[in-house]
Amino acid sequence: MNVSELLRLLQTEHDDTAARADHLREQIERLTTALAETEARLAELTATRKVIDSLTPPDHATAPAETATVYQRIVTTFNEHPRKVFRVRDLHEHLGLPTDEPSINVTRSRLGRLVRQGLLEQPGRGRYQKRT
């Protein structure tokens, strides 16, 4: 084997190795992008889990169906009327709930939790609206 043939083989090996390195760099770039997207989704799921955990009782027992339904109806009402400011009694009338004082107080507590969780805001005393 002469020197020029050895140099040619060396150059071929160099070109193959450089191509393999380029291919690996492209794979790393794709995987890095996929990892960043996956970590962002994981952060979203973690935040969602925290919100759901904050809505469940401390012992993680399932909330009674009617309580969950009332919360869902309240949140849905605010989502449907994002700029409207509701008083508790008006919200009860809108939802067809009883307007006796104990029922109003329960809803007032629920609305307070939703304010603390950042879903609603309280623009004035006894007034609630969707947080924008």
Provide the 8-state DSSP code for 120: E
Tell me: the pLDDT tens digits for 31-59? 999 999 998 998 888 888 888 878 876 65
pLDDT at 121: 93
Average pLDDT over residues 110-121: 91
Contact criterion met (CB below 8 Å) for 55 and 71: yes
Residue 25 clears pLDDT 80, i.e. is over it: yes
Q: For the chain, how big is the Rg over CA atoms in Å?
A: 30
pLDDT at 71: 84
What is the rounded CA–CA span in Å between residue 98 and residue 30?
57
Query: Model pTM?
Result: 0.49
Tell me: the pLDDT tens digits for 2-13? 999 999 999 999
CB contact set of 59 (below 8 Å; sequence gap of 6+) = none
Tell me: the pLDDT tens digits for 82-99? 899 999 999 999 988 888
Residue 63 clears pLDDT 80, i.e. is over it: no
Distances (CA, A) of 10 to 24, 79, 127: 21, 69, 79
Task: Return the half-sphere exposure (C-beta side, CA atoms, 13 A cut-off) of residue 63.
Answer: 15
Confidence at 132, pLDDT banded by 50, 70, 90: confident
Counted residue by residue, the chain has a size of 132
3-state SS, residue 121: strand
Look at the block and give the residue holding tokens 């794979």.
27
Provide the 8-state DSSP code for 98: -
Residue 60 clears pLDDT 70, i.e. is over it: no
